[in-house]
Structures are given as structure tokens and as C-alpha cells.
Amino acid sequence: WAKADGKSRWALYDPERNAREVARFTLSATMPRALERDEFYVEYQPLVRLEDSTVVGVEALVRWQHPEFGRLAPDRFIELAEETGLIVPLGRWVLRKACEEARRWLVEFGDAAPFVSVNLAVRQSRDPELVRDVKRILDECALPPHHLQLELTESAIMGTADEPLESLRALSDMGIKIAIDDFGTGYSNLAYLKHLPVHELKIAGSFMEGLRAADEEDPVDSQIVATLVQLAHALRLGVTAEGVETPAQAKRLHRIGCDTGQGWFFARPGPPDAIDSLLRGDL
Ligand code: C2E
Ligand code: MG
Ligand code: MG
Ligand code: MG
């Protein structure tokens, strides 16, 4: 199976590939116990209104403190969890954690409390129990639905049979905000977009690379971002830019008319008390 040109890195006996496969296997085998053993934790990253730098929301991002491999980013295990189905209980756990923190912020900061934004995997979005689970968690956490946003990618929003997901309407009718994550990188059905119960577009971070000071920016990237912002506003949706790393990008985005920014320029993802400090203004 080794390719004759000698460049092949995927031959059957490739030791690197083997190590990767073993790690993958170990991860998927240990994941169910990890949930019981409390090895997952959630970090929070601010969503910042560009107009006045107010923290309007926070995105919940899951991590795994693995006993053998250390701290793992979600791109190491979310896909695996989708394959094994563990994403459903894991996602439910993240949702509950995030709603508990959001409730705490609401009690402590009142009107200034941010909403919490939680990622939904494809498999979770198609789980028939989704709406009931979300409703129960909001009830148990005493969290008003407008303090919760759910982020779905374009492929999660389109259900099976090429129909938009039915549960979106129910979630939206409850008062929950729906955001399309990584907008611009997937297959967007613009005809549907107009009718979907969606409130926010999150423009993928990959478009921010070309946003720099006016004289040195990539005209294609900045045109794409400007066009996506216009599209969002034409549809009466809010728009958030992901992956904002520099002051120049934040400035350009504000000038373009983007509502909200997220990224290292504002804050890295961190523990919940880092959000508390931000909200108290003692950073
Ligand atoms: P995402 O939802 O698009 O989240 C944004 C990602 O960009 C996060 O990566 C965040 O840490 C990273 N990021 C934030 N600011 C910057 C920046 O300025 N520059 C760059 N280069 N990156 C930035 P993270 O935490 O590694 O998560 C990766 C993806 O894993 C997420 O992408 C999301 O799709 C998925 N994910 C995370 N948590 C969950 C979860 O609880 N459930 C599900 N289903 N997926 C999750
Ligand atoms: Mg990361
Ligand atoms: Mg997200
Ligand atoms: Mg994203």
C-alpha cells in the first residue's frame, strides 16, 4: 500500500499513523469514564460589542483534562464523541455547566450579565430529546431563555432530507437565541436562511487574516467580511466576527459595521472567574 513515490505518509505500517490510531482508540475508549470522573471542564470566552466594548455574551468551550495526555482541545475529541455518540451526554453536561454559570452571572450582575453561548454538535441537533433536555436544564438552573444562545454550523442546521431542523423553531419560540457558527465556511442555503429562526451569524475566523490596517489588508478577505456583515443586516440578524486577534482587525470590523467580536485581542478562553473579573471591571 505504500506509495511508490516515497512521499507517502499513510502507508499501513507507518509508525506515526499507528501512534495516532492508538491515541484515537485510547481516547474513545476512555471518554465515557472521563465524563463520570469529571475530567471535562468548560472555559468561557467573551463576546464583545464593538461599539462600546461591553461583554454581551460568553461562549462555552469544552476541554478535557486527560490523565495521560494532559489538557486536550476539543478538536482532539469532539469528532470522536460524535462518532461514538458520547457527544449527546457530553453536550448535555456542557449545556448544564454553562447554564449554571450563566445563572450565577445573572444573580451577581443583573442586567449587565452576559448570555451564554453553547455549541451544538450535528448529532445533538438531531437528537429527538434535544428540546426537552434544553427546557429541563433551563428550568432546573432557573435561567431565562434569552440568556442562552445555541451555536450550530450550517450542516447541523440542515437536518436530514435537506430540510432545516424542526427543533430550531421550538427552541427559538422558547426565547433561546440561535447562531450559525463558522458562517462562510460551509454550504449555505441562502434561500432557507431567510426563513430560519436564526438570530446571529458568526463569521469564521479564517476570514480575519486579511483584515489589517487599511493600506495593507487583503481586499478579498475584507470584501467577504463586509459582504457577510451586510447580508446579516439585510436579514435583520446580528453578526459576530470570530478570531479577532489584533486591534487593527477590531477597528476594521467596527468600521465595516460588524456588531460583535470574539478573539484573543479581547480575551482568551478562561475559567468562569476570569469572566467575573472582566464584568467587575478589575482587569
Ligand atoms: P468554535 O465554536 O468556532 O469556537 C471558536 C474557536 O476559536 C475556539 O477553539 C476558540 O478557542 C478559538 N479562538 C478564539 N479566539 C481566537 C483567536 O483570536 N484566534 C484563533 N486562532 N482562535 C481563536 P476551541 O476552544 O479549540 O474549540 C474548537 C471547536 O470545538 C469550536 O469551534 C467548536 O466547534 C468545538 N467545540 C468547543 N466546545 C464544544 C462543545 O461544548 N460542544 C461541541 N459540540 N463543540 C464544541
Ligand atoms: Mg483551543
Ligand atoms: Mg462556536
Ligand atoms: Mg466558530
* Shortest-distance ligand to the CA of residue 264: 1
Gap from CA of 12 to ligand 1 centroid (Å): 32
Gap from CA of 3 to ligand 1 centroid (Å): 35
Whether residue 10 has pLDDT greater than 70 = no
Cα-based distances in Å from 236 to 35, 186, 199, 200, 259: 39, 21, 8, 9, 12
Half-sphere exposure (Cβ direction) of 66: Cα atoms closer than 13 Å: 19
Q: Is the separation of the CB atoms in 115 and 56 below 8 Å?
A: yes
Atom 8 in ligand 1: residue holding the nearest Cα:
61
Q: What is the mean pLDDT of residues 115-119?
A: 98
Tell me the DSSP string of 166-185.
THHHHHHHTT-EEEEEEETS
Whether residue 1 has pLDDT greater than 50 = no
The CB density around residue 56, as the number of other CB atoms within 10 Å, is 18
* % residues pLDDT > 90 (the chain): 73
Look at residue 161 in the predicted model and tell me its pLDDT.
66
Look at residue 11 in the predicted model and tell me its pLDDT.
59
Whether residue 252 has pLDDT greater than 80 = yes
Q: What is the mean pLDDT of residues 231-235?
A: 96
Helix (H, G, I), strand (E, B) or coil at 269: coil
In angstroms, the CA 172 to CA 145 distance is 9
pLDDT digits (tens, 9 = 90+) for 77-102: 999 999 999 999 999 999 999 999 99
Atom 3 in ligand 1: residue holding the nearest Cα:
182
Tell me the DSSP string of 39-54.
-EEEEEEEEEETTT--
For 210-248, b where at least 16 C-beta lie within 10 A, e where not — what string? bbbeeeebeeebbebbbebbebbeeeebbbbbbbbeeeb
**Average per-residue pLDDT in the chain?**
91
Q: What is the mean pLDDT of residues 246-260?
A: 96
Measure CA 231 to chain center: 21
Pocket of ligand 1 (CB under 6 A): 45, 61-62, 73-75, 78, 91, 94, 119, 121, 151, 181-182, 205, 242-245, 262-264, 269
Ranked by mean pLDDT, the top range of 34-38, 218-222, 279-283 is 34-38
Look at residue 6 in the predicted model and tell me its pLDDT.
53
Gap from CA of 16 to ligand 3 centroid (Å): 31
Whether residue 130 has pLDDT greater than 50 = yes
pLDDT digits (tens, 9 = 90+) for 21-62: 888 888 888 999 999 999 999 999 999 999 999 999 999 999
**Identity of residue 46:** P
Top mutation candidate among 83, 90, 119, 133 for ligand 1, by most atoms within 8 Å of CB = 119
Atom 21 in ligand 1: residue holding the nearest Cα:
243
Atom 42 in ligand 1: residue holding the nearest Cα:
119
Q: Is the separation of the CB atoms in 169 and 197 below 8 Å?
A: yes
pLDDT digits (tens, 9 = 90+) for 150-188: 999 988 888 766 677 889 999 999 999 999 999 988 877
In angstroms, the CA 225 to CA 242 distance is 11
**Residue 7 binned pLDDT confidence (cut-offs 50, 70, 90):** low
In angstroms, the CA 280 to CA 114 distance is 12
Gap from CA of 7 to ligand 2 centroid (Å): 30
- Which atom, in ligand 1's list, is nearest to the CA of 204? 3
In angstroms, the CA 253 to CA 247 distance is 10
Atom 11 in ligand 1: residue holding the nearest Cα:
269
Whether pTM exceeds 0.90: yes
Look at residue 165 in the predicted model and tell me its pLDDT.
83
Atom 4 in ligand 1: residue holding the nearest Cα:
61
Higher-confidence residue of 158 and 13: namely 158
